[in-house]
Homo-oligomer: A and B are copies of this chain.
Amino acid sequence: MGKVVILGDKAINDGVSAHEEQVSNLDALHGLVNEDLKAVNRVILERMESPVALISQLAGHIIASGGKRLRPMLTLSTAKMCGYTGRRHIDLAACVEFIHTATLLHDDVVDESDLRRGNATANAVWGNKPSVLVGDFLFSRAFQLSVADGSLQVLDILANTSATLAEGEVMQLVTSNDTETSEDAYLEVITAKTAALFASACRLGGLVAERPSQEQDALASFGLNLGIAYQLVDDALDYSAAEKDLGKSIGDDFRDGKITLPVLLAFRRGSLQEREFWKRTMENGEQNENDFSLALNLITKHNSLDDSFDRARHYGSVAKDALGLFKDGPEKHALQDVVNFCINRAH
């Protein structure tokens, strides 16, 4: 996430301030929800305050360190596409971002990461303890915001999504280091840990607009498939030589033994000898200096990176079709562009 990508010879930053060809995809979205997004950021700043200074500092660090605010923008833009003119989507978008941020904080503890979006992670700066606890605090804040919204339907969606997220994270832990993880199991993990929140972020837009359930389902389906595509690309980029050429850090998943689609495919398509390589490096964690280069070679040899992007395109197509029920207009086009953005942000 938050990677800088060169397409041709253009440096493209996928952050809020980005320009250039591919990012114009998110620019349309930004243009549409810009004012609402500012309101969301105000809610976020206001609600991450606490009399306990360390909470505000640490929450400020991770929230201010940017990110695309993709999930809240999905709530804002789907609400807009559904003709919603009220204010509920603002707090709910903030709520979605809080849940996401809480997950990031706990993720970084679990992954023992030192960098996130090119910045030091909270756990690298403050240690694991505050990261766990401030994650809990932000999660509680999300809970409070959704209670303040006052809709049991909203609460039901967010409670279920939170449980699914946690299940997804544990599933990922269980499949970690297991080179025989099936593609289905991998999909189940990324659906739970990433796509479920994308789905809920989109469903909430239809819900506040009081659209019929089939439209809410369509929005959730859009979000779900977009989220799967997003995570597929994210995981593939960690093995992308193009990223490496940019001086970006790649290979984190390899070093952590986190089994993602590029490895999973290379393992299944590989010779017995190649499988021994994956087992040694990712299951047993015995990695030598040149192993990551060798891993990249095997992934290239078996076309697993390109095929990962193909899989992402498949889910991207399903996402776009899920919007078929909605009438054409700038919001729908902007949402379709999000799909393009998520898929084309690399290679």
Q: Which A residues are closer than 8 A to B by beta carbons?
A: 50-55, 102-103, 106, 109-110, 128-130, 132-137, 139-141, 143-144, 146-147, 150, 152, 155-156, 158-160, 162-163, 165-167, 169-171, 173-174
Report A135 CB to chain B, min CB distance, Å: 8
Residues of B close to A167: CB separation below 8 A: 50-52, 55, 137
> Does B159 lie within 8 Å of A140, measured CB to CB?
yes
Q: How many copies does the complex hold?
A: 2
Residues of B close to A135: CB separation below 8 A: 136
> Does A136 lie within 8 Å of B139, measured CB to CB?
yes
The verdict on A170 contacting B54 (CB below 8 Å), with A109-B132, A110-B129, A132-B132 known, is yes
A102, B167: Cα distance in complex, Å: 14
> Does B140 lie within 8 Å of A173, measured CB to CB?
no
Chain B residue nearest in CB terms to A171? B52
Listed by A's residue number, 7 A-B pairs whose Cβ atoms lie within 8 Å are: A50-B167, A133-B169, A134-B170, A135-B136, A137-B166, A139-B166, A147-B159
> Does B171 lie within 8 Å of A144, measured CB to CB?
no
Report A229 CB to chain B, min CB distance, Å: 24
Classify the interface of chain A: helix, strand, loop or mixed: helix
Chain B residue nearest in CB terms to A169? B133
> Does A150 lie within 8 Å of B147, measured CB to CB?
no
Chain B residue nearest in CB terms to A163? B140
A152, B132: Cα distance in complex, Å: 27
> Does A106 lie within 8 Å of B136, measured CB to CB?
yes
Residues of B close to A102: CB separation below 8 A: 136
Q: Select A144's contact among B147, B160, B170, beta carbons within 8 Å.
A: B160
Report A115 CB to chain B, min CB distance, Å: 19
Residues of B close to A134: CB separation below 8 A: 166, 170
Residues of B close to A146: CB separation below 8 A: 159
A146, B166: Cα distance in complex, Å: 18
A135, B137: Cα distance in complex, Å: 13
Chain B residue nearest in CB terms to A162? B140
A156, B149: Cα distance in complex, Å: 11
Residues of B close to A156: CB separation below 8 A: 144, 147
A170, B129: Cα distance in complex, Å: 8
Question: Which one of A130, A150, A158, A159 has the highest number of Cβ atoms from chain B below 10 Å of its Cβ?
Answer: A159
